[in-house]
Chain A
Amino acid sequence: MISPEMIVYIAVGIMTLAMLMAMVRFVKGPSVVDRVVAFDSLTISSLVIISVIAMLSNRMIYFDVAIVYGLLSFIGVIVVAKYIQKGL
Chain B
Amino acid sequence: MEIMKLVGAIMLLMGSFSLLISAIGLLRMPDVYNRVQTGTKASTLGAIVSFIGVGLYKYDAWSDGNWIGRVIILIIFILLTNPVSSHVLMRAAYFMKVPLSKLTKVDKLKEDIDNNVIKEPGNE
Contact = CB atoms under 8 A, between A and B. Distances in A.
Interface of A: 4-5, 7-8, 10-12, 14-15, 17-19, 21-22, 24-25, 31, 33-34, 36-38, 40-41, 44-45, 47-48, 51-52, 54-55, 58, 60, 63-64, 66-67, 70-71, 74, 77-78, 80-82, 84-87
A18 B23 contact: yes
Contacts of A22: 23, 26, 39
Contacts of B71: 51, 63
A24 B39 CA distance: 13
Given A8-B9, A67-B73, A37 B35 contact: yes
A15 B46 CA distance: 10
Given A7-B10, A37-B39, A14 B17 contact: yes
A37 B26 contact: yes
Given A11-B50, A60-B70, 14 more contacts: A8-B9, A15-B19, A17-B20, A21-B27, A31-B98, A37-B39, A44-B46, A48-B46, A48-B50, A74-B85, A81-B91, A84-B92, A85-B123, A86-B124
Contacts, number: 165
Contacts of A18: 16, 19-20, 22-23
Interface of B: 2, 5-6, 8-10, 12-13, 15-17, 19-20, 22-24, 26-27, 32, 35-36, 39-40, 43-44, 46-47, 50-51, 54, 57-58, 61, 65-67, 70-71, 73-74, 77-78, 81-82, 84-86, 88-89, 91-93, 95-96, 98, 123-124
B36 A44 contact: no
Nearest to B86: A40
Given A37-B89, A60-B66, A67-B70, A74 B8 contact: no
A77 B82 CA distance: 10
